[in-house]
DNA sequence: TTCTGTGTACTATCTCACTAGTACATTGAG
DNA sequence: CTCAATGTACTAGTGAGATAGTACACAGAA
């Protein structure tokens, strides 16, 4: 069963964090079509948020065509998204993890590492919109 | 003069985005002690947000010891933060940019790239707290 | 001094994410 | 059918972020 991460205080709404995690799971192949998501009440009690907040996330997923809810049964993800090929994923994620390891090795604090990633990603985003 | 990025709709409060950008600038050496930040009113008109929101960000920076406000003159950053050594920064950011270029080359959509980065960073964060 | 530009303070208002509590509809097992 | 578990709907309220508008205090230049 898919497990949601504990929510932080980043300012990102909880329901959006849940949506993003499911979307990410699908993109990276951690979730496959037909997989069942934890029930609304299970997520609510596990992550300690209101069931309505979870329900809102699931509604959002259904609206985006990424999941289907069946009363009495649960919520199941659909494959309406382009997954990253497993081989590509393995290769690139490995290199990325290596980069993080090297950054730690170089003595960078987590905050500094995050700053670098954010800075480069900002540039990437700028490139997309350009 | 430091330039703030246009704000997105990520759910992160605008004033926090401003704070993070200054902190990042200091961490990565894009900002040096004594550098002046754009005035409250300048940022407000450039990014199209309320001056009060910018003032809140600047107050936050001052409270964190990262900036000093001088009435009639402006707000200036201080060096109370550990910067990434320039050589380390150049080497690591170069490799990171290369990784992004390879990801694009592999045909990954921006959304997929971001999902991979988020996933790996989540793991890193988990490692920190562990 | 006067003027201008700066940061700051204050109140009121609005929106939205989230909480709280309750009730209902559907599904499948017994 | 009965029951439990599921997703769903609804109303009301709380709090934070943001806006709007005004006013004030300080610094520097004319």
Give B68's DSSP letter: E
Would strands B74-77 and B36-37 be described as parallel, antiparallel, or unpaired?
Answer: antiparallel
- Please give the Cα distance from B100 to A126 (Å, whole number): 13
Residues A64-123 have pLDDT tens digits of: 999 999 999 999 999 889 999 999 999 999 999 999 999 999 999 999 999 999 999 999
Q: How far is CA B63 from the centre of its chain?
A: 17
Give the tokens for residue B126.
């988990």
Strand partners, B44: none
How far is residue B128's CA from residue A113's CA, in Å, rounded to a whole number? 12
Contact status of B44 with chain A (Cβ, < 8 Å):
no
Partners of residue B112 on adjacent β-strands: none
Picking from B49, B34, B83, B47, the residue whose alpha carbon sits closest to that of residue A115 is B83
The CA angle A8-A13-A14, to the nearest 5 degrees, is: 60
Asked if residue B14 keeps its beta carbon closer than 7 A to nucleic acid strand C, the reply is no
Q: Which two tokens stand for residue A22?
A: 């499911």
Answer whether residue B9 shows pLDDT above 90: no
Residue carrying structure tokens 């604090």: A109
d(CA A100, CA B59): 33
> Which option is the CATH number for B14-77: 2.60.40.10, 1.10.10.10, 2.60.120.260, 3.40.50.2300?
1.10.10.10
Share of chain B above pLDDT 70, in %: 99
Q: What dihedral do alpha carbons B24, B50, A17, A50 form, nearest 10°?
A: 130
In the structure encoding, which two tokens stand for residue A79, read together?
């494959």
Residue A88 CB burial class (10 angstroms; 0-12, 13-18, ≥19): middle
Closest CA–CA distance from residue A73 to any residue of chain B (Å): 29
Tokens describing residue A116: 């670098």
C-alpha–C-alpha distance, residues A62 and A95, integer Å: 34
Q: Which nucleotides of D are covered by protein (CB under 7 A)?
A: 4-11, 16-22, 25-28
Bridge partners (DSSP) listed for residue A37? A75
Q: For residue A9, say whether its CB is under 7 Å from any atom of strand D.
A: no
Biggest alpha carbon distance in chain B? 52
Summarize pLDDT for B64-99 with one digit per residue, the tens: 999 999 999 999 999 889 999 999 999 999 999 999
Domain boundaries in chain A? 14-77, 86-129
The answer, for A101 touching chain B at a CB cutoff of 8 Å, is: no
% pLDDT > 90, chain B: 83
* B104: nearest CA partner in chain A: A124
Distance separating alpha carbons of residues B51 and B6, to the nearest angstrom: 15
């Amino acid at each position: 069963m898919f497990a949601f991460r504990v929510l932080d205080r980043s300012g990102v709404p909880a329901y959006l964090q849940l949506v993003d995690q499911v979307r990410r799971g699908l993109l990276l192949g951690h979730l496959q079509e037909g997989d069942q998501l934890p029930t609304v009440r299970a997520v609510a009690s596990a992550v300690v948020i209101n069931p309505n907040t979870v329900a809102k996330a699931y509604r959002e997923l259904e609206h985006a065509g990424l999941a289907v809810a069946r009363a009495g049964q649960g919520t199941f993800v659909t494959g309406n998204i382009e997954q990253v090929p497993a081989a590509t994923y393995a290769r690139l994620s490995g290199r990325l993890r290596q980069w993080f390891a090297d950054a730690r090795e170089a003595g960078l604090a987590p905050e500094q590492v995050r700053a670098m990633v954010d800075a480069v990603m900002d540039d990437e985003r700028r490139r997309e919109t350009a």
